[in-house]
Structure 1
Amino acid sequence: MRRHIIVLAVAAGVTGAGFTAHLLVSDVPQRKGVVAGATESVGSTAAGRGAAVAKARPFDRAGLRRAVRTYLGTRPGKAGVMATDLRTGLSFGENEKGDFVSASIMKVDILASLMLQRQRQRADRGLSAGLSDGERDLASQMIRESDNTAADALYSDAGHGAGVRKANKRFGMTDTKPFPTSWGSSWTSPSDQVRLLTNLASDKSPIEAPGRRFIWGLMGAVVDEQAWGISAAARPGEKVALKNGWTPVHDQGNGWAVNSIGRITGRDHDFLVAVCSGDSPTMEAGVATVEHVSDMVVDAMRDSRP
C-alpha cells in the first residue's frame, strides 16, 4: 500500500461541505503507469485482444465480492464501488447503491449538466453548442484544480440543485440528490457516478461529442496533487482521467468523505470506476481505502473474461 503524507490547507469563505482543501503529497512512489489524458476511444489490435482473452480466467464475481467485503471489514468507515469495462462488458459493484456525500466529485456532474443546458440553449438560437469562454475557463479551474469558487459560479449558472437534478434525469441518474445551494453537500452513489461517466463515454449520450471530449480532457489533465484515487489501479502505459472529492463531514455523518471517479483506458480495457467512502477518521485513511478498493477491483476485472 502506498504511503501518503498529506497536508491540508483549508480556504475560508465557502459554504457547506464543498470547501477547498489543497492536497500536498510527498514521499509517494511513482504511480504505476499513470498517463493523463484519456480520450473517447483507444484502439487495440485484434491479436492483442486475442492474447488477453486466452490468458484470462472466468470472472469470479462472488470471490471478488468476498474479497472486497473482507478488506472493507478491516477498514474504518464505509465504502462502495462500481466499475464497468466498456470493452469486455464486465461490471462489478459492492454497496454501489449506497448513499455518500459527494464532495468535489459533484463538479463533474455540474459541468455535464451545464454543458447539456448550454447545448440546448444554443441550438434553440441556431448557434454552435458549447460553453462560453468564461465558462470554459471556470470549468478548467473547477476540474483540473478542484477550485471551489469556480464550482460555486458554475453551479449557479446551471441553476443550482434544481438545474442539475433536471439534467440528471436525462442522464438516468436516480440516486444523486443535488443540495439546493452547497454542491459539495449533495448525496450520490457509485452506481450513479458510473452512469454519469457512461454518459460521457457513449455516442448515445445527450451530450454531444465536443462537450464530452472537453470534459474528459480536463479530467485527464488534473494537477499533480490531485492525481490520486482510481489512478492506483492503472498499469504502465494506460491513460487516466479522474476527479476526486474529499471533505470532513459534520452535519451529514462523521469523519471524512473521500471519493474518486474516472476512466482507465488501455489496449484491451476501458474501465469506468467510482469508489466512494465515508466516516473515515482521517483523509489519509479514506484515500488508502479508495485506492486499495480501486486496485483490487480493476485488477480482478482486467485478468478475467465474461
Structure 2
Amino acid sequence: MRAKWMAWLGLAIVTGCGTGKAPVVPVAMEAPVKVARCLLKFPDNRAAGVARARLRRDIAQYVGGRPGRIVYGAHDLVTAIRLGQGEHQNDLITASGAKVDIVTALLANRDGRLDEGERDLAGRMIKESDNSAADAMWSRVGGGEAMGGFYRKMGLTETTPGPSRFWGGTKTSPTDRIRLLKVLVKGGKGLTTGDRELVLGLMEQVQKDQRWGVSAAARPGDRVALKNGWTPRPFIHNTWAVTSYGRVVGPGRDLLLAVQTDQQPGEGTGIQTIEGVARLIGSRLDGLSPVSTRPCPRNPIA
C-alpha cells in the first residue's frame, strides 16, 4: 500500500511540474535607502520678538504684584538675548553680594598671589558668606577707596563701595552685576584664568542652604555659580534687602542673571520674588530664539 501511495504522489508531482507554471522564486531585494530630507534653518525674528515681548510683560506683571522694589537684568552669552527691568537702577545695596567683588579685587591687585590665609578667608566669604572673613579681606584690599579704583578698572560705573568699613552697603545695579560676571566668565580687565576659575569655583560651592535665588533658572543638569545677599534694614521701616546674581550654564545656554530687591517685608518674601523672576526666565529662555525651516533648493548652484 505504501508503494502505491508513493507512486500516486510521484505522478502528481510530475504532472504538476509539466503542465503548470514554473514556481515563482522570490528574488532578494535590498531595502530602500532612506534619504534624509534637506532642510535649512532660519531665525524667526518675528516669533522671537513676540516671545520676548510676552516674557517681559509676564515678568512685569509678576513683579507688579510683589512688594518692595524689584529690578533685574539677564544676558545669555550663547544667544545674546538681553532682558531687564530697572537694570540700571544703582541705589540698591548688594549686602553679601559684595564679597565676590572683594575677593576679585584682591586677586587683581595681587596678580593672583593670595597666601594660604587669604585663600581660606576667600573660601569662607563666598561659600559660607562669613562676615568676619569679609571684614578682614575688606581691610586687606584697602577698604572703600581701593574698591572704588577696582570698580573703575572693571568698568563697573554703576557701583559705589560701602562707606568706611561697611562693605555690605555697597550699592550696585543688575547691569553691573552682569558686567562683573561677564569678566569672570570671558576674561579681561587684568584677571588671569586662574583668578577667574578660583572665584567662579567658589561661587559653585556655595553651601546648600544658600543656593536659593537665581538658581531657580536652572534646568536639571545645569551648573550654577552664584552669590546672594540679604540683610535687615531696621532704619528703613524694618524691611529687608535681598539680592542674588550668578551664572547658569548648560546645553544651549550661558545665562548671566541678577535680581535685586529692597523694602521687602521679610527675607523669605525677597527670596520668593527673586526665584519667581528667575524661574520665568529660565523656563522660557529656550523659546526666545525660535527658528523656521525651509527645504533646500532642488538644484543648488555649485
TM bracket (short chain): 0.7 to 0.9
Kept in 2: contact 1:83–1:298 (CA 8 A): no
Shift in Å, 1:203:
2.9
- What's the CA shift for 1:63? 2.4
**Using the alignment, how far apart are the partners of 2:55 and 2:272 within structure 1?**
19
Match of residue 43 from structure 1: none
| Paired residue type of 1:58 | A
Q: CA deviation at 1:194?
A: 0.6
Q: Percent identity?
A: 41
Query: Aligned to 1:80, what secondary structure does the other structure show?
Result: strand
Q: Quick check: 1:58 aligned with 2:48? A: yes
Specify the alignment match of 1:161 in structure 2.
144
Contact 1:102 1:187 in 2 (8 A): yes
1:106 corresponds to which letter in structure 2?
Answer: A
CA contact (8 A) 2:99 2:134 kept: yes
Query: Contact 2:157–2:176 (CA<8 Å) still a contact in 1?
Result: yes
Deviation at 1:136, TM superposition (A): 0.6
1:21 is matched with which residue? none
Inter-partner Cα distance in structure 2 for 1:205 and 1:174: 14
Number of residue-to-residue matches in the alignment: 247
Structure number with greater Rg is: 2
| Greater percentage in helix | 2
Q: 1:259 aligns with which of 240, 243, 246?
A: 243
Q: Distance in 2 between matches of 1:112 and 1:252?
A: 30
2:102 corresponds to: 110
Unmatched segments (≥5 aa) in structure 2:
1-39, 291-302
State the Cα distance separating 1:132 from its structure 2 match.
Answer: 1.3
RMSD over aligned Cα atoms: 2.1
Deviations 1:146-195 (A, max 9, x none): 00000001111111111111011111101111113201111111111111
Distance 1:254 1:276 in 2: 18
The residue matched to 1:81 in structure 2 has which SS? strand
2:264 aligns with 280
Query: In structure 2, what is the Cα distance between the partners aligned to 1:169 and 1:298?
Result: 31
Larger RCO, structures 1/2 (Cα 8 Å, 6+ apart): 1
Alpha-carbon distance in 2 for matches of 1:302, 1:184: 35
Inter-partner Cα distance in structure 2 for 1:145 and 1:151: 11
Give the structure-1-normalised TM-score: 0.76
Cα shift readout 1:103-160 (whole Å, capped 9, x = no counterpart): 10011111111111111xxxxxxxxx42111111000000000000000011111111
CA contact (8 A) 1:101 1:252 kept: no
**Cα distance, 1:295 vs structure 2:** 1.3
Match of 1:217 among 193, 197, 201: 201
CA contact (8 A) 1:249 1:257 kept: yes
User: Where do 5+ consecutive residues of structure 1 fail to align?
Assistant: 1-49, 120-128
Please, what TM-score do these two structures have when normalized by structure 2?
0.77
1:269 maps onto 2:261 in alignment? no
What are the residue-to-residue correspondences of 1:1-306 with 2, within 5 Å?
Answer: 58-59=48-49, 60-98=51-89, 99-119=91-111, 129-180=112-163, 181-251=165-235, 255-305=239-289
Do the aligned partners of 2:213 and 2:228 also contact (CA within 8 Å) in 1? yes
Task: Give the Cα separation in 1 of the matches to 2:170 and 2:210.
Answer: 21
